[in-house]
Amino acid sequence: MAPAKPLKSPSVQRVGGRRPGPRAAAQAARVEAIFARLAALNPQPRGELEYLNHFTLLVAVVLSAQATDAGVNKATRGLFAMADEPRKMAALGEAALAEKIRTIGLFRTKAKNVIALSEALLRDHGGQVPARFESLRALPGVGRKTANVVLNIAFGEPRIAVDTHVFRVSNRIPIARGKNPEAVERGLMRVVPPAYLTHAHHWLILHGRYICKARAPLCKICPIVDLCRFEAKTL
């Protein structure tokens, strides 16, 4: 599939009935250029968590908190083969689930939450993962980031989930600065052009994971290095 087409001219978008000033227009053009390059390199980015359906996606994202995707995938391959829907997961029980995910950080708390959310899905949603943010947030163990990931991947909503990589990259480049993930999320939702919103957090996650790393960013191979204002570039 071809990469999403950029907006024709971010500089002519009106704010409050007025054209934005030169500085705002330049910033909008810079943000659009960043995502245009990331889109050209990876038109259809995918998250690295493995899942079989909406339910296993939800469980995988809950388990991924403070854990690596690779570590979660290793633990869930066998788990999802035997418990790929809420009824089977609830029947497994907290103790058995904890044993299967014990290699993941905070496995006891996560096992408790996964069993509780499975029961809640059966009780309140007919065993289906809801497609509403508020309903997802009401499930045990589901935070703002998890709800946004599920809505984006499972239901195609233009949501931005801010994890540690997105938070770092957005503040570092910068694209949208914020003191906490929710502030960064709000900022990104304001400045990312609509054509790129659906995949924006995937591009930022992958960029932060493999290039714009926390301690040693690989600026020499960065495709957006000339658009980045990070003062401590490793050039």
| pLDDT tens, position by position, 7-31 | 333 333 444 456 667 888 999 999 9
**Catalytic-role residue among 69, 84, 100, 163:** 163
Convert the pLDDT of each residue in 108-140 to its tens digit: 999 999 999 999 999 999 999 999 999 999 999
* pTM > 0.75: yes
Please check the confidence at residue 158 and state whether its pLDDT lies above 50.
yes
Pair 117, 62: CB distance under 8 Å: yes
Domain residue limits, the chain: 27-45+160-227, 54-155
Note the CATH number of domain 27-45+160-227: 1.10.1670.10
- What confidence tens digit (pLDDT) does each residue in 28-67 have? 999 999 999 999 999 999 989 999 999 999 999 999 998 9
Active site residue 226: no
The fold of 54-155 is Endonuclease III; domain 1 (1.10.340)
Q: Is 163 a catalytic residue?
A: yes
Q: Which of 145, 179, 213, 226 is catalytic?
A: 145
- The number of CA neighbours under 13 Å toward the Cβ of 192 is 28
Token pair recorded at residue 148: 């946004």
Count Cβ atoms below 10 Å from residue 81 Cβ, excluding itself: 9
Q: Residues 185-208, buried b or exposed e (16+ Cβ, 10 A)?
A: bebbeebbbebbbbbbbbbbbbbb
**φ/ψ (deg, to 5) at 15:** -120, 120
